[in-house]
């Protein structure tokens, strides 16, 4: 893949990225230059100026300098595709897929042409659809914020960037959404996502926002069919659509 002369790497559109591209060559740590949809910039900039943001930036630079393969090339892509004012649903994942060419910066989503991971297959099964593409870009464009708690990962090493600082940013983003988006459905799958329920409830209550929290097991095959609240058969997408439709919000999911 070639880069147009004079074009900053941080502004490369996702459409130019190919499966198998070495992401560490593209992940220039200059997120203040990345285009973001309306509503997110102040929160991101505030985080970047904080001590937590600086520590995360230093960590990522060190890993890139050491030759680590870091995915995805655009960690803030969810914030590029979904303006804050458009958010009417949130799906919270844990961290990006850790295989080459898989992660595209959206929770549970994979790039075009990539085989569907097991959790994503179960999501489509519960949704009652079998699309060829595993990319959830259209969800993002219809008002679904597909946010991972940790926004980068190293090749073959799940959770390798957990507790390095990303969670401080994504908690701020969740708090911002809870204080702003209304009506909004939160699909919290598994214990990791459900740990954010109180943060969401507290900020939504403080600002008088109308929210619905739908909590099930994670869609992973290890838990999707097990108690206490199996993901498969939960009807979470039907419940989300019906609740939003009652509030004149259509076309989500």
Catalytic: 95? yes
Cβ-proximal residues to 108 (8 Å cutoff; 6+ apart), any chain: 91, 93, 119, 120, 123, 136, 146, 219
Task: Catalytic residue, from 45, 95, 155, 248: name it.
Answer: 95
Tell how strand 89-93 and strand 184-189 pair up: parallel
Tokens describing residue 55: 């520590």
**For tokens 């409830």, what's the residue?**
201
40-65 burial, b for 16+ CB within 10 Å, e for fewer?
beebbeebbeeebbeebeebbeebbe
Cβ-proximal residues to 2 (8 Å cutoff; 6+ apart), any chain: none
Active site residues: 95
């Amino acid at each position: 893949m070639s880069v147009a002369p004079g074009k900053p790497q941080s502004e490369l559109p996702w459409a130019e990225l190919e499966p198998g591209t070495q992401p560490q060559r593209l992940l220039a740590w200059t997120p203040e230059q990345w285009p973001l949809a309306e509503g997110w910039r102040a929160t991101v900039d505030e985080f970047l100026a904080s001590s937590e943001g600086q520590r995360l930036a230093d960590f990522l630079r060190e890993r890139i300098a050491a030759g680590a393969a870091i995915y995805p090339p655009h960690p803030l892509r969810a914030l590029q595709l979904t303006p804050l004012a458009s958010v009417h649903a949130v799906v919270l994942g844990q961290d990006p897929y850790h295989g080459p060419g898989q992660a595209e910066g959206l929770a549970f989503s994979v790039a075009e042409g990539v085989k569907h991971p097991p959790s994503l297959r179960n999501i489509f099964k519960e949704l009652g659809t079998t699309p060829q593409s595993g990319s959830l870009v259209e969800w993002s464009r219809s008002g679904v914020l597909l946010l991972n708690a940790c926004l980068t990962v190293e090749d073959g090493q799940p959770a390798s960037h957990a507790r390095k600082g990303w969670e401080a940013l994504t908690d701020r983003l969740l708090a911002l959404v809870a204080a702003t988006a209304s009506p909004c459905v939160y699909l919290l799958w598994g214990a990791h996502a459900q740990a954010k329920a109180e943060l969401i409830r507290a900020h939504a209550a403080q600002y008088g926002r109308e929210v619905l929290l739908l909590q099930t097991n994670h869609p992973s095959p290890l838990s999707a069919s097990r108690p206490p609240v199996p993901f498969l058969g939960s009807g979470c997408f039907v419940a989300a659509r019906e609740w939003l439709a009652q509030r004149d919000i259509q076309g989500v999911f």
